[in-house]
Amino acid sequence: MSQTPIEAAPDAARRPPRLAYVVTEDWFFVSHFLPMARAARQAGFDVAVIARVRDHRAVLEAEDLRVIPLEAERQSLNPLAVVSAVRRLAAILQAEHPDIVHCIALRAILVGGAAARLAGIGRRVYAVTGLGFLAARTDAVAAAARAVIARIVRGPLESAGTRYLFENPDDPLIFGLRPEARRVTIVGGAGIDPQALSPAPLPPPAPLRLAFLGRMLWSKGVDVAVEAVGAARALGADVTLTLVGAPDASNPKAVPEATLRAWAERPGIAWPGPTRDVAGVWAAHHAAIMPSRGGEGLPRAILEAAACGRAVLTTDVPGCRTFVRDGQEGFVTARDDVPALAARIAALAADPARVAAMGQAARARVLDGHTEEAVMGAVTGLYRDMLLRHG
């Protein structure tokens, strides 16, 4: 993808403009945002990735990205640990002096925003990729926590040069922002390469083969998928489910391995573990199932399945309901509604033509604003505008 070179800001006219991504984990950046950094490099930025570095330094450096380690446990709520991370990051930013700091996901926004303020860097992108369990939970405690975080982000962490990047039109409202506001940019998720992930012929129509691909987290509704497939089979539907992925050991919402093994002993359920062959998974299955409880901007797994021409069964939560329109690219049911989801599964199992038509519609939906080219074009355009507007 060609990009018009971005001019350096006036205060840095003698060097390329500098961009620093702040993200919790190197693997998360590689799996979701590497094309964004690649586009920034092509646009003329000197790009640094600041993250907890484990196994992906070589991948990042192969893209001519500078990797700066920042050790911080992403699940730690210890105030001293958070303050320490802020101070260490502020020192890195003072040394780097980037023109733009791009913070990805909520924890990076809180730590990175505070560090950018200490370092005196006003141009900040806060990329809200979801609110995790704070959005998935519907109780009063979670609502209060969301309000507090919104006040922090829109208060002491906001500067005149702060811009917000969202993956659906619902999340801006949590922060008191209008989706159409000038400082808000909404993109089609992390973007998909439609050439790398393209439709393969559907498997034979029976049984209906569903796949759940992603981290094995309760918040993603893995248990709902398992129960709904069991209920659909009880209704007489010829359907199977493959759970493709692994538990996230550092995530408290991870499904225990023992539970996954127990599910795999049920009729019609398989858990082969994780894979790198996303296209191969969808070539072997008819449709994706992602009964998310919310908290994600727009799940990448949904976009990957849709790019491969597969229908999507999902839930009425932000991001998922934005992409999947009920009855068009798949079905949308209420969260945690096992009977409703089972009925939709049974309906698809009985109608192979509809499975195919929904898959074609899902592919077309990806091509309409959810490709890497579209998303990266929007993001580099955002960077350009920030350099021009804010000194």
Whether 280 is covered by a domain: the verdict is: yes
Count structural domains, the chain: 2
C-alpha distances out from residue 126 to 216, 324, 333, Å:
27, 25, 30
Taking residue 156's Cβ as centre, other Cβ atoms within 10 Å add up to 11
Please check whether residues 40 and 184 belong to one and the same domain: yes
Whether 4 is covered by a domain: the verdict is: no
Whether 245 is covered by a domain: the verdict is: yes
Please check whether residues 44 and 178 belong to one and the same domain: yes
Please check whether residues 112 and 98 belong to one and the same domain: yes
Whether 198 is covered by a domain: the verdict is: no
Whether 47 is covered by a domain: the verdict is: yes
Whether the per-residue pLDDT at 217 is higher than 80: the answer is yes
Please check whether residues 81 and 179 belong to one and the same domain: yes
Could you tell me the CATH number of the domain that includes residue 322?
3.40.50.2000
Task: Read off the pLDDT of residues 79-95 as tens digits, 9 standing for 90 and up.
Answer: 788 899 999 999 999 99
Please check whether residues 24 and 117 belong to one and the same domain: yes
Please check whether residues 254 and 183 belong to one and the same domain: no
User: Can you give the pLDDT at residue 13?
Assistant: 54
By residue range, what is the domain housing residue 330?
A: 208-367
Whether the per-residue pLDDT at 1 is higher than 80: the answer is no
Whether 41 is covered by a domain: the verdict is: yes
Average the pLDDT over 206-219 and give the result: 96
Please check whether residues 73 and 162 belong to one and the same domain: yes
Whether 87 is covered by a domain: the verdict is: yes
CA distance 34 to 65: 10
Average the pLDDT over 210-217 and give the result: 96
Tokens of 38: 């690649």
Please check whether residues 294 and 280 belong to one and the same domain: yes
Please check whether residues 308 and 184 belong to one and the same domain: no
Please check whether residues 185 and 218 belong to one and the same domain: no
Task: Read off the pLDDT of residues 105-158 as tens digits, 9 standing for 90 and up.
Answer: 999 999 999 999 999 999 999 999 987 766 667 778 888 988 999 999 999 999
* CA nearest to 208, candidates 243, 245, 241: 241
